[in-house]
Chains A and B, each alone.
Chain A
Amino acid sequence: MSFQLIINLIIAVIWMFLNNAWTVSGLVSGYVIGLGILFLLRNFFPSRFYFIGVMAILKLIVIFLKELILSSVEVMGQIMQPKLNIQPGIFAMDIKLKKEWEVTVLSCLITLTPGTLVVDVSPDNKTLYIHAMHLPDVEKAKSDIKNTFEKAIQGVSR
């Protein structure tokens, strides 16, 4: 992915050389043209066309902001209730992610989403131990995290 990005930047610089126009707009137009060239030549690279990865990162950020606001409202409602009826607990969740940065990003996202908190990561990086504030249904909590964050992270690194 970074290799294609560097090639794209080099094409933009070559475009500026050809035009002899050293401006930001020259750089942007060269970059867009390089993006088109890389899209046409996408079969020659071992990895996929890198702009799909950029779109997946943007999608991950949007999903994260949405989850942050939704679950914040939920936790606020639980705190402000006159009688506290939460059922906290720790559950183990198996994850399919392989690389270490993926596990780090996933646990950071889980921790930042109110209602869940990563307490421990197993030494072989295969299991996360998550403390949830209100846990009436473990399977639902697991599938929530799987369907939102894990899928989006897999989309970025694939």
Chain B
Amino acid sequence: MLSLSVNEISGLIIGIIVFLGSVLSLISAIGLVRLPDIYTRSHAATKSATLSVLCILFGLFLFFTVIKDYVSARILLGIVFVFITAPVGGHLISRAAYHSGVSLWESSIHDELNGKKDKQHTSS
């Protein structure tokens, strides 16, 4: 008869969450190496990394809450701050790249911003 206490079961779940987060960050690192140009790379760099950090921090929060019996609000604040700042960083990097003339990968199929670029330079 397999008998697990509450701590063991929740430890298992927390381990799965943290493992999932680390695998996600590994895959986004592979994506950084494999993808062809700066825009697709910033896809991998900003967002998959955000989700993996979310998973790891959430697992940490659950660990301290359930097993160590200590509710740490700072971890939740960390999750919120990562979620607010990460998209702004990705947006600014790709916008700066586009406006300083970094070209897209050659097999990109649409570029609807292309004609409007010069007009925006004079207005901003």
A-to-B contact residues, CB < 8 Å: 68-69, 72, 75-76, 79-80, 84, 86-92, 107-109, 111-115, 117-120, 122-123, 129, 131, 133, 135, 138
> Do the beta carbons of A114 and B108 come within 8 Å of each other?
no
In whole Å, how far is A109's beta carbon from the nearest beta carbon of chain B? 8
> Do the beta carbons of B87 and A75 come within 8 Å of each other?
no
B5 interface residue, CB < 8 Å from A? no
Contacts A88-B108, A90-B112 given: A133-B43 contact, CB under 8 Å? Answer: yes
State the majority secondary structure of interface residues on A.
mixed
Docked pose: A111 CA to B94 CA in angstroms = 11
Docked pose: A113 CA to B83 CA in angstroms = 11
- The residues of B that contact A114 with a CB separation of less than 8 Å are 43, 47-48, 51
B-to-A contact residues, CB < 8 Å: 24, 27-28, 30-31, 34-37, 39-40, 42-44, 46-48, 50-51, 83-84, 86-88, 90-91, 94-95, 98, 104-105, 107-114, 116, 120, 123-124
Q: Which residue of A lies closest to B36 (CB)?
A: A84
> Do the beta carbons of B47 and A79 come within 8 Å of each other?
no
Q: Which residue of A lies closest to B52 (CB)?
A: A72
Contacts A79-B44, A88-B39, A90-B111 given: A112-B94 contact, CB under 8 Å? Answer: no
Q: Which residue of A lies closest to B33 (CB)?
A: A79
In whole Å, how far is B115's beta carbon from the nearest beta carbon of chain A? 10
Q: Which residue of B lies closest to A87 (CB)?
A: B109
- Which 10 pairs between the two chains have the least Cβ-Cβ distance? A89-B110, A111-B87, A79-B31, A92-B112, A114-B47, A129-B113, A108-B87, A89-B109, A112-B87, A131-B39
- The residues of B that contact A138 with a CB separation of less than 8 Å are 110
Q: Which residue of A lies closest to B43 (CB)?
A: A133
> Do the beta carbons of B39 and A119 come within 8 Å of each other?
yes
